[in-house]
Amino acid sequence: MPTSQTALLVGGTDEHLDRAKALGLTVVLIQHPDHLNPHQTRHADALLMLDYTDWETVWPLAEAAHKVWGFAAVLSLTEGGLETAAKLNEHFGFQANSYEVVRRIRDKAWMRRELAAHGGRLSTDFGLATDRGSLVEFGARAGYPFIVKPTDTAASFGLLKVEDAADIDRVWQRIEQLLGTRTDRGLKLFVIREFLMEAYVDGPEFSVEACSFAGRHAIVTVTEKLQDQTNFVELGHALPARLDPETYDEVVAATAEFLDVMGVTDGPTHTEFRLGSQGPVVIESHTRNGGGGLTDLVIGAYGIDLVAYGVGWPLGLVEELPDRPKPTGAACTRFVLPEPGTVTAITGVDELKRRPDVLDVNVSVAPGDTIRPLRDNWDRVAYLAVRADDTDSAVALCEHLVAEAIRIDVRTESE
């Protein structure tokens, strides 16, 4: 067990930093200049401000930081920092998922190849989009519609649905526009280098929130998703998922199998499945907690703080979780989706925060800000999370409050 109570945190949000401090850790923070804020400068014990995706810059500074502060673990619970943290953990010999494991999961094409090498039971047909002809050939082989997406971005950025053969030109034109560019929102750290083609899996989508402890996978919950079916933006979550026991067990077993195949040993994971005619099919996975308020939902329904587990487990500050813990209730989140335009007023937030059944109200815009058309998860501007006795009640309450209790007024271009 580590003897030092100091950790190197790569990237991270205010929440990640606060959880680390609440556990009594001394935190050396590596933060990208574009994402540093006053809260982090106040609460980090030491700060290195640099592009943490640039390994040649990171590792010598991390070496120097280790000599000064003697940290015993490198942590990252944010997508852009996962690979750097994994490399640093290997460099210093700390117990964690290896860089190969983290990269294999982040690279969606590599993930598909690994599943195919193990029989492909949890996968779907796939290929790389190398030119317009590859799209034509894949459509002829896999059928329409099919999905095209960058191999290592997040939040549905650049995800395209090819409806039919007539849609090929539109999709290839968009691929050419995006190749070699960076994501233009969110972390803005990912360079788009290639696109993956996947056969479409027609069925509802779920995610599984889990945490691994030296190779043992504790499956915490299965979460159901509400999605936009044009660009697959996540519009809401509810947990525990309303699945019959047999299907729930099947998804849990598929998650454990997937994590074993990928080689995951430690820390939180967020794995997305679709339930198709062949059973559970992995859509993608991440060696971090799920976003969109999911960690708040898990706290509300199970009393388990998965962020604290992600921060505390590498330093021996938390006990292992049991597999499939029993919920004490249910929780739901729904995103508020105003029309595109300019925000003129926001009302209802303070009142909602005072309700005991509200877990969180998060609004990321203010009067004068612009609401963009919904293209990916980064276009979402507000969400509400609630708790109730069961999932049906949580969904009904959340949808009622989103419709009646919170309002974001927008001036559209036509006004």
Q: At CB < 8 A and 24+ separation, what contacts does 344-347 make?
A: 344/409, 344/410, 344/411, 345/407, 345/408, 345/409, 346/407, 346/408, 346/409, 347/406, 347/407, 347/409
Encode the chain (415 residues) as per-residue pLDDT tens digits: 455 799 999 998 999 999 999 999 999 999 999 899 999 999 999 999 999 999 999 999 999 999 999 999 999 999 999 999 999 999 999 999 999 999 999 999 999 999 999 998 999 999 999 999 999 999 999 999 999 999 987 656 778 999 999 999 999 999 999 988 776 555 567 788 899 999 999 999 999 999 999 999 999 999 999 876 666 677 899 999 999 999 999 999 999 999 999 999 999 999 999 998 889 999 999 999 998 899 999 999 999 999 999 999 999 999 999 999 999 999 999 998 888 999 999 999 999 999 999 999 999 889 998 888 877 676 788 899 999 999 999 999 999 999 999 999 999 876 5
Distance CA 11, CA 27 (A): 12
Domain membership flag for residue 105:
no
In the beta sheet, which residues pair with residue 31?
A: 49
Q: Quote the number of domains for the chain.
A: 4
* Same-domain check for residues 211 and 322: yes
299 shares a domain with 229: yes
Residue 106, domain member (yes or no)? no
User: What was the pLDDT predicted at 72?
Assistant: 96
Residue 324 sits in the same domain as residue 336: no
Q: In terms of domains, do 40 and 86 share one?
A: yes
Q: Single out the residue of 271, 287, 218, 315 nearest to residue 76, CA to CA.
A: 287
What lies within 8 Å, CB to CB, of 82 at 6+ separation is: 76, 102, 106, 286, 287, 288
- Return the CATH number at 269: 3.30.470.20
- Give every strand in the sheet of 73-75, ordered side by side: 46-49, 26-31, 6-10, 73-75
**The predicted structure's pLDDT at residue 150:** 92
Q: Is there a domain that residue 166 lies in?
A: yes
Residues 401 and 413 in one domain: yes
| CATH number of the domain where residue 137 is located | 3.30.1490.20
Query: What's the domain range around 322?
Result: 202-328
Type of residue found at 409: D
Whether residues 181 and 209 fall in one domain: no
SS3 (DSSP) at 160: strand
Q: Residue 77 domain-assigned?
A: yes
**Does 322 share its domain with 211?**
yes
